Amino acid sequence: MRFAFVLTSAALIGSAFVTSATAQDTGESLYMDACASCHGAAGMGAGPLAEYMTADVPNLTQLSQRNDGVFPMLDVIQTIDGRTGIRGHGSEMPVWGRQFKAETIDDAGIYGSEVYARGKILSLAYYLESIQED
């Protein structure tokens, strides 16, 4: 009986957790896992790996400020993805689009893993938008 109660409670807590996992929470935890090592936990640019980069690691809380007060959503998405457009060769930023896709390709197939990778990139971009300084 008590065991059933524990199981039910665990299921309830589990579902509460799932429903509260908004895009921003997802973006924040992805950020902490994949980005904070270089860009810093607060996005200010001084993570523990920053000193090993030959390029300066940019402060990610001033992207809007540097773009006339508008968050450059498309540029940010393409920069994080790294497979398209604006990022030149030789960037020190890992190519996250390729990496996120590779992580899931066995489970999700080519198409599914592309959707999954883009979802992660978009969650990250929304998270970065939420940490912009005024």
Among 28, 57, 123, 126, binds ligand HEC (CB under 6 A): 57
| 109: amino acid identity, one letter | G
Distance of CA 56 to the CA centre of its chain: 20
CB 96 within 8 Å of CB 34: yes
Among 78, 79, 113, 123, binds ligand HEC (CB under 6 A): 79
Q: With CB under 6 A, what is the number of residues at the site for ligand HEC? A: 20
How far is Cα 132 from Cα 69, in angstroms, rounded to an integer? 10
d(CA 2, CA 130): 43
The residues near 81 (Cβ < 8 Å, ≥ 6 apart) are: 95, 96, 97, 117, 118, 121
- Interface mask toward ligand HEC for 91-130; x: CB under 6 A: xxxx-x---------------------------x------
Per CB under 6 A, the list member of 23, 24, 44, 58 interacting with ligand HEC is: 58
Cβ proximity to ligand HEC, 5 vs 88, nearer residue: 88
Contact region for ligand HEC (CB under 6 A) — 7-15, 50-58, 101-109, 111-119?
50-58
